[in-house]
Amino acid sequence: MTKNNCCAAIAKNPLMVLFLSACPAMAATATVKGALGMGLAVLVVMVLSNLLISALRKMISREALIPVCVVVSAGFVSIVQMLMNAFLPNIYQMLGVYVAVVAVNLVVFGQSEAAANGSSVSDAIITGVYFTVMLLVMGIVRELLGNASIFGVNIAFLSNYRISLLSKAPGGFIIASILAGVISKLGLAKAECAGECMTGAAAGISECVCACDKEEEVQ
């Protein structure tokens, strides 16, 4: 990974740097399966919403942008919910109401707004992947240390060292805070990568790495 890509991976991370979608992230990361299910659900909704908004953006007025983004996101979330309930019932039951919350997820909404401003579908894919990877990291740590298991498979030698708090609600905040602190301490999330090319919810979602790109070009 190049320096520029590394900068992008951190600066554009919706959860650890922009602190968006914390509610479903905390709820879904108690297990790796839940984290992966939530991450993929957000990724699919984000990409499909981006494609549709991009196709219709010339017909969407500025005044109608917000309601259109919400309706489009809610429609795709409903489709994803039905598919998960049909083909992945265990994960659907595990995530519960938090799948529906994706419809008003600021990561999804911000990417939809960015699509209306000309952002490409690749930006949606990249942002969704960054979000999913961070959920997986949290899920692995919480399930491994909190339940002494991984993907539901018990790990015998860790059973006596479980930190049960990590598998409960406070555990999500603890792990997220530690990860955010590590990123901040390492100086990976630079202030100039906060989003200077867009305004509104799209700022920091699609074009927040532009300053990093400029810095790389200068060097």
Reported as a single tens digit per residue, the pLDDT across 51-92 is 999 998 889 888 888 889 889 999 999 999 999 999 989 889
CB atoms within 10 A of CB 117: 17
Cα separation, 138 vs 23, whole angstroms = 13
Per-residue model confidence (pLDDT) at position 152: 84
pLDDT tier at 199, thresholds 50, 70, 90: very low
Q: In the predicted model, is pLDDT for residue 216 greater than 80?
A: no
Which two structure tokens, joined as six digits, stand for 20? Answer: 């968006």
Cα separation, 215 vs 92, whole angstroms = 43
Burial degree of 183 (CB within 10 A; 0-12, 13-18, 19+): middle
Per-residue pLDDT, averaged over 97-125, amounts to 83
pTM (predicted TM-score): 0.77
Higher pLDDT, 86 or 7: 86
Per-residue model confidence (pLDDT) at position 213: 45
Chain CA centroid to CA 16, Å:
9
